[in-house]
Amino acid sequence: MDSQVGVFGVEWYMREDYDRSRAMFIDGDALPRSYEEWKQQVELLRERLVSQGILVVQAYINPDVFPDWYVANGCQPDARGRDMFAASVARRVMVEQGHLRD
């Protein structure tokens, strides 16, 4: 039996943090202008991935903590940095659930 689980980390924002998070990213203007637009897009992505049997992990980007993470991990506050953060959160969840070894 194949016990592999497909997993995808998705950057996630709280409504009250979206504008502040967007402002701290060097490519923030590439994100949807409003939380509502972002939420609609990410929900469509989540639904598509789930329909393909992929576990979607919400990687909450806290604007008070994320700058420390990207500096510590040699990233920039941009799409690549956000993707790396989301992937690291997804990996941590998979380890915690026993699907991967650390």
Residues 11-50: tens digit of each pLDDT: 999 999 999 999 999 999 999 999 999 999 999 999 999 9
**What is the C-alpha end-to-end distance of the chain, expressed in Å?**
22
Residue 72 CB contacts under 8 Å (≥ 6 apart), including other chains: none
The Cα-based distances of 64 to 13, 50, 86 in angstroms read 12, 30, 16
Q: What is the pTM of this model?
A: 0.85
Q: Could you give the CA distance from residue 82 to residue 69 in angstroms, rounded to a whole number?
A: 10
pLDDT exceeds cutoff 90 at 87:
yes
pLDDT exceeds cutoff 70 at 4:
no
pLDDT exceeds cutoff 50 at 73:
yes
- At 2 the pLDDT is 43
Boundaries of every domain in the chain: 7-96
